[in-house]
Amino acid sequence: MARHLITSAIPYINGIKHLGNLVGSQLPADLFARYQRGRGNEVLFLCSTDEHGTPAELAAAKAGKPVADYCAEMHDVQAEIARGFRLSFDHFGRSSSAQNHALTQHFAGALDQAGLIREVSETQMYSNADGRFLPDRYIEGTCPNCGFESARGDQCDNCTKQLDPTDLINPYSTISGSTDLEERETKHLFLCQSQMRGTLQDWIDSKSDWPVLTTSIANKWLNDGDGLQDRGITRDLDWGVPVMKGDAPWPGMEGKVFYVWFDAPIEYIACSQEWVDAGKGTDWERWWRTDKGADDVTYTQFMGKDNVPFHTLSFPATILGSNEPWKLVDYIKSFNYLNYDGGQFSTSRGRGVFMDQALEILPSDYWRWWLLSHAPESSDSEFTWENFQTSVNKDLADVLGNFVSRVTKFCRSKFSEDVPAGGTYGAAEQALIEELTTRLKAYEGHMEAMEVRKSAQELRAIWAAGNEYLQITAPWSTFKTDPDAAAAQIRLALNLIPFYAVLSAPFIPDASADLLATMNVTDTAWPTDVPTALGALAPGHAFQVPDVTFRKITDDERTEWQERFAGTRD
């Protein structure tokens, strides 16, 4: 039994995430976790809310609540939405946890002992209008590299170049919009990433199996301009992990907190401690410490491309620089952006369909199928209502749902709600079994490789094979002249339903569970042998004719939803 540690990029606390966030990390991570569990492997799937930094403070102030109360409330909101989308986290933690505070302070101490922390007196942007130092992400301006007009003070989302606020052309405060900014001196701790450049380069170069998107972004940060730069890991903020050395405040750093991008990835580890402390699991160290048994763990991270630099460079620099036996990531599955109807999804600008709104419209399986089958792997992809309607109606309603309905209703009308006996299988049945054997192997190969869209295409082809079999054998016609042969055809078709349900569970878990229930099947073991799987329902096995598995989206609904969400865009 293999062991898989799986994490997705942790969503920020300030608000409900949009569908682009979902498909860029959490949903494909859930797909992989469900698949590996289905294969009988041991899985620890972790995620958390990212709760520190200025955005949380500002969102709390806007809501009129203390920041701790606001974060606790929004964590519960995000956890409930995650359950709505059937995200199967083993634990959904919080970066503000006591475990993450302690672990972040521990790593800072270990890095300091290794000579990788230095104190820097620097000038930072101070907004006179706002009366505060502005964190990098609350300064925007024009990127000096590509000319993008909404570049942030730490990174340009358009070209991904690492920036400092002073690099921006015409910078302004995103809090007030004020351009009355001035540089003031302050002291901060810096992680000496530049000392780790060679180690990180060797590590990246060893990952020949990683997606090109992941390694190209990492190499760009390592080699552009002057190469990997030392990075500040503290900020002048009230909310966050206090900068401590041992049990006392770090000398000269009183009143400061660790930078959110330093403590947030550490939460992956702390989340496993929360998992244990919550009574959900035991022995977190066997997942994270190579001296405690984590050598046989395969660790996979899922994230959007904007998070890649921090997970290929900054977090590994923290892990490697600590000189402690922590588990490093084995594979980073990165995604491009999902755009919305001619524009971009944007949390800050309220553009697009958000996760809570999506669940108000349709059950999660409809969204899971479309998002995963259109995952932005090799390039950006785009959500349109026309494409969504077409995919749901053709793939889910016409191919899978229609097959289940035709088979079960025909059996009830001509035989009963029991699997019929009938004759033996012939050439058509053998041809179907051979095709499904080949396709199952291909499906498993794509899922193991985390090729999300190819996995969806192969699964749809497996569904379609059942419909093609019905068209070839035409049991409704066969019944008129040879009822026994028709019974055998329907018996095989009925056996396809639980076979489909088990294979489809990583994509559409609710529908899969419903299909297994209507077929009175409790065995959810992954099919290792197609002939055996397609003989699991013996003659006389009782079933129920299900309600509509997937309904079609009407043109009127599509038009209504297009109009409803048009107003969320700028």
**Annotated binding-site ranges for ATP:** 347
User: CA separation (Å) from 317 to 134, 149, 280?
Assistant: 26, 31, 30
Beta bridge partners of 326: 289
Query: What single letter denotes the amino acid at residue 184?
Result: R
The DSSP element (H or E) to which 429 belongs, if any, is helix 427-448
Residue that the structure tokens 């409809």 belong to = 366
Query: What single letter denotes the amino acid at residue 121?
Result: S
DSSP H helices, 194-277, are: 197-205, 212-223, 260-277
Q: Which residues are annotated as a binding site?
A: 143, 146, 156, 159, 347
Residues 195, 321: Cα–Cα separation, whole Å: 9
Q: Strand 42-49 vs strand 91-94: parallel, antiparallel, or unpaired? A: parallel
Beta bridge partners of 45: 6
Residue that the structure tokens 């109360």 belong to = 69
Task: Record the tokens describing residue 168, joined without a space.
Answer: 């921006």
Q: Helices 509-518 and 364-373: crossing angle, nearest 10°?
A: 120
DSSP H helices, 40-92, are: 54-63, 67-84
Q: 204 with 312: CB under 8 angstroms?
A: yes
DSSP letter assigned to residue 189: E
Q: Which residues are annotated as a binding site for Zn(2+)?
A: 143, 146, 156, 159
Classify residue 350 as left (phi > 0), alpha (psi -120 to 50) or beta: left
DSSP letter assigned to residue 306: G
> Which residue, 13, 6, 15, 28, is CA-closest to 334?
28
Terminal CA-CA length for the chain: 50
Residues 150, 142: Cα–Cα separation, whole Å: 6
DSSP letter assigned to residue 75: H
Looking from the CA of 138 toward its CB, the CA atoms found within 13 Å total: 24
DSSP labels, 76-106 = HHHHHHHHHTT---SEEEETTSHHHHHHHHH
Phi/psi at 159 (5° precision)? -110, -5
DSSP labels, 352-415 = S-BHHHHHHHS-HHHHHHHHHHT--SSS-EEE-HHHHHHHIIIIIIIIIIHHHHHHHHHHHHHT
Looking from the CA of 311 toward its CB, the CA atoms found within 13 Å total: 26
Other C-beta atoms lying within 10 Å of the C-beta of residue 414: 15
Task: Record the tokens describing residue 407, joined without a space.
Answer: 């088979």
Residues 60, 333: Cα–Cα separation, whole Å: 33
